[in-house]
Amino acid sequence: MEGMTSEASVTKLPECFSSVIPGWFSEISPMWPGEAHSLKVEKILFQGKSEYQNVIVFQSSTYGKVLVLDGVIQLTERDECAYQEMITHLPLCSIPNPKKVLVIGGGDGGVLREVSRHSSVERIDICEIDKMVVDVSKQFFPRVAVGFNDPRVTLHIGDGVAFLKAVPEGTYDAVIVDSSDPIGPAQELFEKPFFQSVAKALRPGGVVCTQAESIWLHMHIIEDIVANCRQIFKGAVNYAWTSVPTYPSGVIGFMLCTTEGPPVDFKHPINPIDLDDSHIKTKGPLKFYNSEMHSAAFSLPSFARKVIESKSD
């Protein structure tokens, strides 16, 4: 891979996506019209175009290195912990002794890093569609991509939808869907047939946690996700959220569901990772997640709770 440092070259991204104007990256997208979040750019470290998307890495002045896919920030070194830790430990700390875990997306390796903190886990499969994301993350974000070094991890480069369809019924204790927004290569990961495939791949009482957009920007998308999940998952169906400053609106949500089987109470974790320090030497300390944050994540503002609970009828 060769990095490109010319700012002029970066401004050739498609018109609807973000660009680097002199000294600044501004995140502009039809998914959040009328607003943009900007970060000061110290240096562009990499720019490439994979088979699926534009990939940029730049050094920011306040959030460390930043990974951008199709003009949308995926992670920054400073706040990635708030997303990676929550999307992983919300499901895995809600069930006893998870053993087999599947990650869809997550090519930066951050979710793998967090899953591998759980000593009960014996097998971690990851299916990422874009090999460039994996390679770039290993090169520029080694503290995130450290998850790929765990011997329990098997990487599959390919389409997550097709991978799930081929999975034998009841294979996994948990599925974590670390997707980008529902435009471009991740669109199918927000649709009903995909959730049906996830449910089939889970054991009875198995859990899924999927990236589920922002309550400030995407309640219409969240409504659809909740409605689909209530039809498909016969156990618990909950929405949680966390604070990630560099994501649009500063928050991101998660859909947490279980298949019919042993009951799961997502709001009261029973498998506390924050009391176990055996993983700290290789993965570093937890920076964001703890049991109190876990339970608090399910407390919703009134406007969001009203919409989400209305879908339970």
Residues belonging to the active site: 178
Q: Which of 126, 84, 88 is nearest to 105 (CA)?
A: 126
Q: Are 129 and 96 in contact (CB under 8 A)?
A: no
Beta pairing class for 202-211 and 172-178: parallel
Name the phi and psi angles at 192, rounded to 5: -55, -45
Instruction: Give residue for tokens 């998914």.
Output: 31
Q: Are 256 and 266 in contact (CB under 8 A)?
A: yes
Q: Are 247 and 63 in contact (CB under 8 A)?
A: no
In angstroms, rounded to a whole number, what is the distance separating the alpha carbons of residues 186 and 59?
A: 26
Enumerate the H helices of the chain as residue ranges.
Answer: 7-10, 80-92, 110-115, 131-140, 142-145, 160-165, 192-201, 219-232, 280-283, 291-296, 302-310
Residue 156 DSSP SS3: strand
Distances (CA, A) of 246 to 9, 33, 130, 252: 23, 16, 22, 10
Residue 266, C-beta contacts closer than 8 angstroms, at least 6 positions apart: 90, 91, 94, 207, 236, 238, 240, 256, 298
